[in-house]
Amino acid sequence: MKIQQDIAVFLLRIALSAGFLSATASRLNLWGSQSSGWKNFVHYTAETNSFLPQYLVPAIAVLSTVAELSIGILLLVGYRINKVSLCASILTLLFAVAMSISFGVKEPLDYSAFVFSAGAFLLSTFSHYKWTLEQLL
């Protein structure tokens, strides 16, 4: 039972990391023709945060990209997983709420934003993590 839980926690950590890293790779055109690109991301940021002043959009786009890239890398290597996954949960919950306000609740449900947030929160509740940089240190 314990080894199954260790594997599940590891897979959840890697899946969350991959989600954050893939999203940032897309907006930075690292997925080639499948990338969304920076301009499209800034436009989507404006639509998602339609309730905020437009002058904040570029800053939100940059800050969210830096946060997502940092979270993705830290989860991948396994450093400060409790705190990083809690930050991931809060960030994705804010994203889901913004999506709900701007587009209705169907959009974040279709993109599994609430599930992503809950998974990150669940990851933050474990007391130890196998196969991490923290474990090596």
The string of DSSP letters for 32-87 reads GGG---HHHHHHHHHHHTTTS-GGGHHHHHHHHHHHHHHHHHHHHHTSSHHHHHHH
115-119 own/partner pairs: CB under 8 Å, 24+ apart: 116/16, 116/19, 116/92, 117/88, 117/89, 117/90, 117/92, 117/93, 118/89, 119/12, 119/15, 119/16
Q: Tell me if 130 sits within 8 A of 82, measured CB to CB.
A: no
The reported pLDDT for the residue numbered 123 is: 98
Give the pLDDT band (50/70/90) at residue 1.
confident
Quote the pTM value.
Answer: 0.95
In this prediction, residue 95 carries a pLDDT of 98
Q: Per-residue confidence at 135, pLDDT binned at 50, 70, 90?
A: confident
Average pLDDT, the chain: 97
pLDDT tens profile 50-67: 999 999 999 999 999 999
The pLDDT tens digits for 2-35 are 999 999 999 999 999 999 999 999 999 999 999 9
